Chain A
Amino acid sequence: MPVNLIDIMKRIERYGAQVGERYSNIAARHVKVADLIAAYADRLEELTARFNRAAEVIPRLRCAVPTGEPLDSAIPMPDLPDRYTLLASDGSQINPSRHTRVPFCVINVSVLKMVCGSGEAPQVHTESQFLDYDSLFLPEGGMVSEGMVALRRDLWERQALMEWAGDLEHPAFAMIDGPLELIREPRESSGFSRFMDQYLATLSQCKQENLVLLGYIDKSQSDLISRLLELVALHDAELEQYHQTPRRFLGVKDISFLSDLLVNPGERSAIFAIHSQSAQLFRDDLALHFFYLNVGREGKPHLARVEIPKWVASDQELVGTLQAVLTAQAGILGTRPYPYLLHRAHEEAIVPISEHQHVEKMIVAELERRGIPVEEGSNKQYHKDLPAGKTRYQG
């Protein structure tokens, strides 16, 4: 049965109206946020005091914290150094599934290292981790979740950067796709704190090697600055009811108002610290900070969010070089700016479905060689794997 287009067409009209209404509400809030940016641009002490007061009464507060640069800063990038090292890491995984003939998990991570200015092709390292059968199951029963596999992959992506860094020509930068903060669930699981400890050790190692580890977030949905300004707009009594009351600036993303400020390629916003429950796990020199960067072209701004640790945020010269490096990297992909090396890491790391099937066949062959009976895949999976019919969308 194909999609009922006639029915959908009727509903699309209503959908369009809802979008229009939501957009006009957000546009009104956007104006208020932009006004507050202008009003509080240099009143950072007042803002910080307001944040401190809010942090006392709001237990799970998540927002930006000013670090000393005016809110409406648009700081240009310096010239790119002649030579520097750039690393990028990305990973993908085959999640264990009860629908396959045998459950198994593979995590694939690729690291690319490029010495910019050398004229040499980047080095490519790809490593696959095939998880032991025993580690696929939880002590309390059941299979490890996709969230846990993703967490393991996130950690390994970061560790692999250090593992493959080798001798570095400085300045040296290492990129991952997404935030530095590990925001995956389940944070409560026993494994999370172990992963976190290993991650913090990797971050410390990066600092020792003077390797700038950064998280690059494209099309950021973040509203950390917007949330900070919301605190100013709330009365003290409202602060105490923060989680029970509707958000004042709901839907106003940081990039929406910063696009009006960061108009020139390579310009960055002020640097902010991140205040959140999970960000508090990153302490001292590793405390998480971020800024927005216009990696677009003249007349076509495109803002990315960049997360860095405090030791980098405190070094203006290093941050400036980072601006220039990321802008140059994103510029390589022309009309759709995104760091070239990160894209290449993704390209190298991805596990295609054909390889998934190949690994499964190898495992089945090993089990059969040992005389271990192998179950069939689920009937659901069997039917899903049948050659695509003429009417079904395979997305």
Chain B
Amino acid sequence: MNGIEIGRLLRSGTAGFVVGCKVTQLSAPSFGALVRVPLEEGYQVFGLIYDIHIEDDGLVRQLITAEGVPEEVLQDNRENRNVPVEISVLALGYEKGGKVSHLLPPRPPLSLDVIYLCTSEEMVHFTSAGRFGYFRHILRDEDKPVEELLAAHLGQARQAQEEAGNSEWYEQAMAELITLMRDDYPNLMSLLSAVGEI
């Protein structure tokens, strides 16, 4: 069950990992997208893209000072040069032997493991398991744009779930989030505002 390959693993830890990809691969991944890393037969780690980072370098900075950048130079910088595109992923859970868990994975992916974008079916499979336990991991880290991330994820998951005939999933997810964030009124309001733009 392969899908769209978005890159390979640069570094990882239990709570998340960073994927490197070529600029030409950058059209597929998006903020809030669910990804998976197959590690061995029957075991794969799931995560959510929370940051896509494009580093600059001396040459790029110098090119910006020119009046016009020819198309060949643009393509050279995107295809040939090691423009480091880094995609940061928050670990949300794993699947082992066909059973999805929303606990952190027992061991992280290894360097150069391939990362795939989840298909709609895979997204439904992961987000339907349990009772939204993976929201814990998203809400835990205050350094990330949590409300925006949740809104992006909910929008994508809602569409996949509705296509699969689960029209009640979104309401259940929102009810769970309101319960989890009931003591954090400002951020809850911020989430509701972000979700309102889906």
Contacts and interface: CB of A to CB of B under 8 A. Distances in A.
A335 B72 contact: no
A40 interface: no
A332 B68 CA distance: 7
A332 B74 CA distance: 11
Contact of A334 (B62, B70, B81): B62
Given A116-B70, A119-B72, A332-B70, A124 B65 contact: no
Interface in B36-81: 59, 62-67, 69-73, 75-76, 78-81
B76 A336 contact: no
A90 to B, nearest CB: 14
Contacts of B64: 334
A118 B65 CA distance: 23
Contacts of A344: 76, 80-81
Interface in A216-258: none
A86 to B, nearest CB: 9
Nearest to A348: B80
Interface string A277-290: 00000000000000
Contacts of B73: 332, 340
Given A114-B76, A124-B80, A344-B76, A119 B63 contact: no
A78 interface: no
A147 to B, nearest CB: 30
Q: Is the interface of B mostly helix, strand, loop or mixed?
A: helix
A119 B71 contact: yes
Given A334-B64, A335-B62, A336-B62, A122 B70 contact: no
Contact of A121 (B59, B63, B78): B78
Interface string A321-344: 000000000011111100010011
A118 B72 contact: yes
A124 B71 CA distance: 16
B115 to A, nearest CB: 25
Contacts of A332: 63, 66, 69-70, 73
Contacts of B72: 114-116, 118-122
Given A119-B71, A122-B72, A333 B62 contact: yes
Contacts of B65: 333-336
Q: Which among A116, A121, A335, A343 has the highest number of chain B CB atoms within 10 Å? A: A121
Contacts of B80: 121-122, 124, 344
Nearest to A122: B76
B66 A120 contact: no
A347 interface: yes
B106 to A, nearest CB: 33
Contacts of A340: 73
Contacts of A122: 72, 76, 80
Nearest to B77: A121
B66 A334 contact: yes
Contacts of A115: 72
A124 B78 CA distance: 13
A217 B187 CA distance: 60
Contacts of A343: 59
A121 B69 CA distance: 13
Interface of B: 59, 62-67, 69-73, 75-76, 78-81
